[in-house]
Structure 1
Amino acid sequence: MKKLLFFVLILGLSITSCDDDDDYQTIESIDKIKIDSVKIVNDTMDVFSIQSIKTYSTYPSHCEGFYGYDYVHNDNLTRTVTAYKYITSGPCTQATYTSANQINFSPRKTGIYTFKFWNGGNNWITKTIVVE
């Protein structure tokens, strides 16, 4: 009887755990998403300090979300930033939503840093930060 009860318990747990797989969605692809706006709190900062730079992007559905940044050092003082989104399979709501994400900037030398954030097509949002 104990063996039968143990078998039924294990079978019940394995069947129950399979129900969680219905919420799982596979990432189908990664693509660029334009950065709608950028918020830099301080346009002047000290060398070796840290500042969070927030970017905002609008997603057309809840099947898409923030994946990461391509953060490129073009030269000593110029950076280009492109945001990427993931696209999942499965059912989702089609409501648009805005997501805020951030980059932590910690400069290692003084100068005027220029940031270019991809805003779609050949368009860029340009921001500068003076590092003293």
Structure 2
Amino acid sequence: MKKFFHIGFSAFFLGLFFISCHDDEDYQTIESVEKIKIDSVKVANDTMDVFTVQSIRTYSTYPSNCQGFYGYDYIYSDNVTRTVTAYKYISNGPCIQGNYTGTNQINFSPQQKGTYTFKFWNGGNNWITKNIVVE
């Protein structure tokens, strides 16, 4: 009985080992991260109250399904100026070529009254500028 238990226990863990080592053919890894221009920005309200939250949506165009949104570089230049640059990932694997638009958002929650200026990188030395007045 004891030998049967050891053989069964060993077979169980050996099975787990083979399952965990199986490569999934659809698995893709990120090869690089690069800037991607923000094509347009949607600010729902150009006036808002202090301590409230507003979503600011950004739109970028990707040339294949092997690329997508990675994150933002969100820099405070001073108390009221924000510079926003979007980054995309590029992954390996089979890719379907063709442009698609990706939508992402920043949740803005001001802690002070004032006029906040957002500058979104639009490629080269170009920026999309949006102002939000916080009362």
TM over 0.5: yes
Distance 1:63 1:13, change over 3 A: same
Instruction: Report the identity percentage.
Output: 72
Equivalent position of 1:121 in the other structure: 124
Unaligned runs of 5+ in 1: none
C-alpha distance in 1, partners of 2:21/2:95? Answer: 20
3-state secondary structure, aligned to 2:25: helix
1:36 matches 2:39: yes
Give 2:118's aligned amino acid.
F
> Where does structure 2 lack aligned partners over 5 or more consecutive residues?
1-5
Could you say which residue in structure 2 is the equivalent of 1:57?
60
Deviates more, 1:11-20 or 1:107-116: 11-20
Give, in whole Å, the separation in 2 of the partners of 1:92 and 1:5.
Answer: 43
2:101 aligned with 1:108, yes or no? Answer: no
Partner of 2:3: none
Task: Give the secondary structure class of the aligned counterpart of 1:23.
Answer: coil
C-alpha displacement of 1:95:
1.4
Paired with 1:124 and 1:110, the residues of 2 have a C-alpha distance of 24
Alignment partner of 1:90: what SS?
Answer: coil
For residues 22-50 of structure 1, the C-alpha deviation after alignment (integer angstroms, 9 at most, x for no partner) is 11101000000000000000000000000
- CA deviation after TM superposition for structure 1 residue 10, in Å: 7.9
Q: Which residue of 1 aligns with 2:94?
A: 91
2:64 aligned counterpart, secondary structure: coil
Instruction: Tell me how far 1:123 sits from its aligned partner.
Output: 0.3
Separation in structure 2 between the aligned mates of residue 93 and residue 16 of structure 1, nearest angstrom: 29
Paired AA for residue 129 in structure 1: I
Is the radius of gyration larger for structure 1 or structure 2?
2
After TM superposition, the score normalised by the length of structure 2 is: 0.86
Amino acid of the residue matched to residue 67 of structure 2? E
State how far apart, in whole Å, the 1-side matches of 2:106 and 2:25 are: 33
